[in-house]
Amino acid sequence: VDLASMSEPMRQLRLDAGLLLRETRELWLTTLVTAAVLALRHQPDDDEAILDRFQSLLETIAQRLQLDTCWKVRPMLDGKTIMAEVGIPRGPEVGEYNQEQVRWSLQYPSGTRDDAIQHLLAFKTSRQSSDSKSTSTGEEPKTKKMHL
């Protein structure tokens, strides 16, 4: 499968599955097998269809989406690079940009370092636009604030 020419629904599926696998890491396969066993226990008459469905899901994750080790993939840009290229100060915001970079790279696995920077610059612009709209309407900006 050519990941560079994925359709938008496949990109969304890759993002959703990738975020889930990044959380479960090596346990994703155990989780999938456990879910299959539970499904078989609750619907024993439908065992062949259930096994086919889980086999198909396994193949989709590992072969079509190439996500079976996605949690091992390091982001293209480290925090210092994000701060320098995007022009943001050190702090929790860097983590938000790093998380956005991970989300983007799951959707665009063939993207380049420059593509990632351009995406983060666009993300910054959309955040600033969203924050200024919130401020003009009297709403709190949508950034995480720490209260001490």
Q: What are the tens digits of pLDDT across the range 36-54?
A: 999 999 998 999 999 999 9
Q: Which residues of the chain have pLDDT under 70?
A: 1, 135-148
Write down the domain spans for the chain.
3-72, 79-136
DSSP the chain: --GGG--HHHHHHHHHHHHHHHHHGGGHHHHHHHHHHHHHHH-GGGHHHHHHHHHHHHHIIIIIS--TTGGGPPPSS-HHHHIIIII--SSHHHHHHHHHHHHHHHH-TT--HHHHHHHHHHHHHHHHHHHHHHHHTTPPPSS-----
> Which pLDDT does position 91 carry in this prediction?
97
- The model's pTM: 0.81
pLDDT tens digits, 91-102: 999 999 999 999
Structure-token pair, residue 23? 């959380």
